[in-house]
Structure 1
Amino acid sequence: MHDLSADERKLAINEIEVLAMMDHPNIVAYHDNFERDGLLFIEMEYVDGGTLAQYLASQAKRIDERSILVIFHQIVSAVRHMHEHNVGDFGISKKMATHQGAAHTVLGTPYYISPEMCEGQRYDAKSDVWALGCILYEMACLQKTFEGSNLPALVNKIMKGQFAPIRGNYSPGFRQLVRDLLQRDPDFRPSAAEALYDRLPVLLNQFRYQRLEEGEEDEVTEVRLNIEHPSKTRSPKPPRSVLYYMKASESSIGLLPIPLPPRARIKEVSISSTHMIALTTEHLVFTWGEGKKGQLGHGMTEAWRAKPELVMALKTKSITASACFASDNGIVMTCGDGTYGCLGPTATGNNTSTPKLVESLLTVDVSAIALRGEVYSWGQGQGGQLGLGHEEDCSLPQEVTIPEEHVVENVRCGGDGTIFITQQGSLLACGNNERNKLGLNPRRGLISSIAEVGKVLVPTPVNMMDKTVTMVQCGSSTFTVVGTIDNVLYLWGTRRVQYQPREVLALYASQAQISKGGDAQPGSLHAQSQNVFLVVDTTCPLPRVNMPPSQGSQREREEMLNQEIEKLRAELENQKRTQAQMMSERVKQEERQG
């Protein structure tokens, strides 16, 4: 201490003060300090298991994801505790006591310093979050996130924020957490509290479900992470999804399950006029329907595929979106009909039956194949479907003016109309409202008659009788179907000739299932021409059917299912022919009027 400057002595005293403040099971405890012969001694709790660095250095092979998460949860819990006491900065702890809650001094191990520290900018608790990302990456890869032969080379790599992809059997959610913690812009990094309470429980639960299904007790997770088990009399079941085809008649509605893997959790469904795609949370892609242009991605052209089948060419690509195929490392792939350049510039005019890279996007990290936030539209403006206040066609995106009291969260486009879902759960619509398919007509009284709204050129509120809408789909050019927060589906238009919103389906788990902790929630809605598909997320157990072979063999059940699927195919073909005839008649009518 005698040889230290005044500032250096202040830093040493600060270290002691900080250690004395910390009282957390995952922070090495401070006991006392004393000075002897000009040397400062700090008495700390003895850590008999060694340091994390020593543990990682002793590993001959990669650590499994669950073990990493258990350790990382403890680290994040400790950092969250530090931040609550305005303490931060790995390497040497200090109080962030300035009035902006930020610090200037750069101290600590250079491998974990953040880009803002490298640039000499003010930094805050988000710099510790960057260091957490470096540690999580290092536990998975057993090497530093950023390395350089000298300090300038190391700083240069940190400033660019580029690191090698994580190899090994780690889940997409794990990889995404690393990327989020290592965002160059600190505003986009989650806080330690968000990582602890929002992100890590989701990742840990997937292993908890697996172990419970196998009949194992998860004692380590229960003790160390303070995650309580439910009643020992029953084991919780992980959620799964069922994709239903809704069969509607004038008197009833039936739900026909699509034969996807029974324990799959559906993340996204995309449905075109010819084929269907289902993407699971395991990033597996299943396709079925018409494959004449190779759009199913199975490496061949085919007239029709009745049942969903895994696209093997995408099995290792970690797909995150299914309209085009977007992987978790920002790569976009397409397959199918290349007419009009819809598969990308390199495939213009050519069809492909196997997903191919969109090479012009290789230099761009694609995170989503959609626009979010402000609303823009372009294309054919007939009927006011673009919501721009006119019916002119637009080749460039134009911003849509949304009423000030509404914030749009999602958009769905139909054949000649558009519907917007707001954050408040209300609906706006614009375009052709023939037969009230957009729900823009005022509600009728018992006796009074009112003029119907033909078309609307700007987003206009839809009367949903104070229902909170969570999902919506425009079916072909004739009807609309919505789902509300209370698990009820409403439909209007020509699908069942309903001119006002009418409840068509209420979805609930049975009382017996609820008593066992089961639940059922609509996941998403999808429309294909006149057909409606519904994804249901449920924790209810798979049905167990014990039937004698003579009363219902597996082959007989498959034959019944194939018959239903063939009926669906025939309906699709009839609807396509009808739609083509309607389009032809419309073109002829326009030519006569012109």
Structure 2
Amino acid sequence: MEKYEKIKVVGRGAFGIVHLCRRRSDGAFVILKEIPVEQMSRDERLAAQNECQVLKLLNHPNIIEYYENFLEDKALMIAMEYAPGGTLADYIQKRCNSLLDEDTILHFFVQILLALYHVHNKLILHRDLKTQNILLDKHQMIVKIGDFGISKILVSKSKAYTVVGTPCYISPELCEGKPYNQKSDIWALGCVLYELASLKRAFEAANLPALVLKIMSGTFAPISDRYSPELRQLILNMLNLDPSKRPQLNEIMALPICIRPLLNLYTDIGNVKMRRIEKPLSTVQTGPQGRTGGRVPTSRSRDGSVGLGSGKVTSLPLSSVYTWGSGISAPLRLPMLNTEVLQVSLGRTQRMGVTKSGRLITWEAPSVGSGEASLHGVVEQMQPQFISRFLEGQSGVTIKSVSCGDLFTTCMTDRGIIMTFGSGSNGCLGHGNFNDVTQPKIVEALLGYELVQVSCGASHVLAVTNEREVFAWGRGDNGIVNEMVVFSLTQSISVLIFMF
């Protein structure tokens, strides 16, 4: 495990435990599936080996990427891609009976279609295609098929005989004990498309016999007529009781209803959505500064833009951030990247902000000789200069808030996870030592809690959970919480707090 740092358990399956980990080499999040092979039966071990074998064969942007597998403490560890957007089943459930528009349905569907086409081209049957095994990226726009634990590689035979899969998605031929091939995956794909259009499963019942009867009769509720006849007919075709009458994947891709969303995948995915400002405010780029304390006349046009003398007028950035103090006598506007800043925090040497997209932005003074310096002998007469940049090391994480101490910084993600970096003196980082950290690192002692707020003092931190518990760490000179607790700790502890 020297390559990975475990963060938390994100799931427990039939064969083992699923961990969210950080890859030490680049800080990226990965999923580690831990499978205790020594405690398994022979069939279970074969299933675990099968998942590795299948994942090695697949390489597609809409399939969870396989990285490696290795043995660790008598367990098989499978490292694979992390999809932070949750499952398609969760996405559907959160709709709360508000139907998706047809374009969104087809956007998801054609990605699953392409992924399954790649799987079948490798002579592999997925055999457990369902919304719980379809994952989403951070922005919930890209889908990725996962969980190939019971997939079947077809070598010489064209059909598989073992009855596997989730009951609600099992095809009629499996219910009858008949052999099946790729057409059973197409039945499951039809169930997924029905679920996207109806926000509920096509086949559900109180018990297994009743469910089998529904599947065998092909009985399911009609699809809303808000959707096009072509979409409704496609679902009916894929849920045909006769496997031979279900369309092939290449036939589905050739349908007029699928051609446009397929083309859009290659033209739209990866585009950056730009913020549009109807009537942008205006400001000017000033020339040489006038005498100290002097006023420059301004004029305001009818549309609200501001002019400064006869200077050049330019549009404001998406956000304006100002700083003053520590030798800066008046508010100084900091340089901005093309982003919108929602929250800022200031430490002894740090100026940090959180953007609307959940990234950390920092403003730093350029180092001497960096190319930002002015003419020799004039430096003392100029305003302090800063450069802005995004902080690296939060791949796959959305930052919600930031707070700065003297020489360290804490930030909280949208999932209530605390990360710290900077100087480790006084144990301010909460990592159980006094080491400095250059990039945001998770406070592991708090992974079992969902944090809702974090705040830094000069050399200590307070964090509040969603259950109103308060954790504190750092230097405790003169007490931290209402002078109740005086301590000097290097890791997080739970403390009692008065309401104040």
Sort the TM-score into its range (normalised by shorter chain).
Answer: 0.3 to 0.5
Higher helix share: 1
TM-score (norm 2): 0.41
TM-score (norm 1): 0.34
